[in-house]
Structure 1
Amino acid sequence: MAQEEFHDFYKYTPSKAAAVIFIVLFLPTTSFHTFQLVKKRVWFFIPIVIGGIFEVVGYSARVVSSTQAPIFTDIPYIIQSLFLLLAPALFAASIYMELGRIIAILHGEKLSVIRRTWMTKIFVTGDVLSFVVQGAGGGIMASGTDSNLSLGQKIIIVGLCIQLIFFGLFIIVSVIFHRRMAASPTTASLSIRVSWRKYLYSLYAVSVLIMIRSIFRVAEYVQGADGTLLRNEVYLYIFDAALMWILMVLLNVVHPGLISELLRGDAMLKSIGMDMHPEELGVASVRYVNPEPTRNQRPSFVETTYARHAIATRGLA
């Protein structure tokens, strides 16, 4: 068996207590996201759950590293570096997809500067590109040589800049849609009892959190190994760990489960040949009540009520 290599990767002794605290913080919110995902069938939030798992695994690796000071093994360091670096890109993917679904339930395609069918493709493609570039940079840095360390840092900076560019564009697109919808609301936005503004504000909030975190990471890698940010662990927990935990909790609270149920109700109408907007059906409101436990395959209360109300309005019930 080859002898394990040891390196002085960290410029400080990682805090075991801090890592454990954030494992304890990320576990409940990730578990609750998993529960919400399955119960509400919000499959576009799968990246959120995976990102939460990345955070837990990343800080678990830091716990291992904290027991190895002052000489650290490769594997825990590489795991925590990559997993904590890449988790926000997974969060971003779900955030991008949520905006497209908000536009869909409001039937506001004409108010969006980018067609809804293209929106998810454009932003998720940018997110995947950012993810791949950052992952490649992290992999190169893991080799440990000075030349590869410098190259890997530069590649990671490029990946983070890609993320910032797409997030900036995403916020602009969201704000323009918001302003247009407020100025010229669709009938659906007035008739469906869903606080679409609340969901947009939550998207703004989590987008700002990711942007602050990405700016911090860019500054961290630009400063390099001798910079203040890499030499002081506290900045990682303030500008990365804490912000990403707030993001996950906020998306627990303002969860798009109702949005998904309304979209499935729309799909039910299309399946019976009623391919039209809610405003065309005269739907006054959609009441949301927690139903009795049912199998995932059965329509939810919102979906069934939405379809029945629409059919009755058309004189078909």
Structure 2
Amino acid sequence: MGAPTIDTSVDNGRGGWVPYYYWPSLPAAAIFVALFAITGAIHTYRLFKYKGWYFVPFIIGVIFQAVGYAGRIGSHYDFNSLTFFIMQSLLILLAPALFAASIYMTLSRLAIALHAENLLIIRARWLTTFFVTGDVLSFLAQSAGGGMMAQGDPAGADRGQKIITGGLFIQIFFFGGFIIIATIFHSRLNKSPSHVHEKIKGRKYLLTMYFANGLILVRSVFRVIEYVMPHDGVLMRNEAYLYIFDALLMFLVVAVYLVVKPYGEIFDEWKRRKDLGDLELTRRDRPQEREAMTSSGDIESALSSRSFAEQKPHSSRR
């Protein structure tokens, strides 16, 4: 039996507005509920194992995804339910903003763990604050727009689409800025003669960050195009686009952070330095080493100057 006909006439009780222009696919939604539920459970286990609490927003985003696609299962069985429509539209829309919040916090922690925060163009303590603030603004705008779209009338849907589009533009703006800052940091790290070992240790984390950011950026651009188009545009009428340019891309973001753990290992060094309060003056920032690196440009001179600085107090006491 085929899916029932969808009534888009002005006499359908909502002025022609419908939650979907297709009957939501049960198999597709069920697959992604399972994928996000399984990966979310693994992430949650590792979160408590490694105590990487800054990744809590990311895991909440994974839960949003799983529950959001469960809402699409509900819509399959109850097409006109606003509850299921609101559940899936808001949670799937907002989840990437939560992914972004944790990814923003990764760069400052990585820089501190590598003793390379002096290579950031924004101080590590302000980096997270700045970008997470932008992420919150994007989150709030998309939440407000999603609520308006769920009112169940054409006028509300139109206003909601415009507000969501504004929120997505905010997200893209901050993502673009973050990628630029991360790229500059990576370039400086590669060129720094005093960070030879650190650039090797940090490479996989930076590449993972680029990969995840790129996927979220593509997804956000897709969403902008989707919401700029009319509510009955081609992207809204074909469910496959949602699964290709949103569900699949976001699952890859979740999966890549299972392969490259964003807690434990190198981030233990960040915790150690944070506990010791050793965040403002790295070993590369100390005056003796900076002078040595400026004159000779190699690690050996920096280490020699450090050794001299450490021995000097002993000689003065003799």
TM-score (norm 2): 0.80
Q: What is the rounded CA distance, in whole Å, between the counterparts of 1:151 and 1:8 in structure 2?
A: 16
**Of 143, 147, 161, which residue of structure 1 is paired with 2:155?**
147
Task: Write out per-residue CA displacement over residues 15-73 of structure 1, whole angstroms, 9 at most, x where no aligned residue.
Answer: 0000000011111110111011111111110011100100010000100110124xx11
Match of 2:88 in 1: 80
Q: Is the 8 A contact 1:55 1:83 kept in 2?
A: yes
Larger Rg: 2
Matched, 1:229 2:240: no
Matched, 1:251 2:230: no
Matched, 1:159 2:167: yes
Task: Write out per-residue CA displacement over residues 131-178 of structure 1, whole angstroms, 9 at most, x where no aligned residue.
Answer: 000000111111122221111100000000000000000000000110
TM-score (norm 1): 0.81
C-alpha RMSD of the superposition: 2.4
Match of 2:271 in 1: 264
Q: Is the 8 A contact 2:157 2:231 kept in 1?
A: no
More displaced 10-residue stretch of structure 1: 128-137 or 106-115: 106-115
**Of 28, 31, 45, which residue of structure 2 is paired with 1:21?**
31
Amino acid at match of 2:87: I
**Identity percentage of aligned residues:** 47
1:194 Cα deviation from its structure 2 partner: 6.7
Amino acid at match of 1:52: V
Give the direction of change, closer, same or farther, for the CA distance of 1:275–1:60 in structure 2 (3 Å limit). Answer: closer
Structure 2 counterparts to residues 1-317 of structure 1, below 5 A: 8-69=18-79, 72-186=80-194, 189-191=195-197, 195-257=201-263, 258-267=265-274, 269-270=276-277, 277=282
SS at match of 2:85: helix
Q: Which runs of 5+ in 2 are unaligned?
A: 1-12, 286-309, 311-318
Task: Write out per-residue CA displacement over residues 102-135 of structure 1, whole angstroms, 9 at most, x where no aligned residue.
Answer: 1111222221111111110110000000000000
Give the direction of change, closer, same or farther, for the CA distance of 1:270–1:158 in structure 2 (3 Å limit). Answer: closer
Figure out how many residues of one structure are paired with residues of the other and give that number. Answer: 273
Amino acid at match of 1:202: T
Q: Is the 8 A contact 1:269 1:275 kept in 2?
A: no
Q: What is the rounded CA distance, in whole Å, between the counterparts of 1:180 and 1:58 in structure 2?
A: 40
Q: What is the rounded CA distance, in whole Å, between the counterparts of 1:254 and 1:226 in structure 2?
A: 40
Q: Which runs of 5+ in 1 are unaligned?
A: 281-313
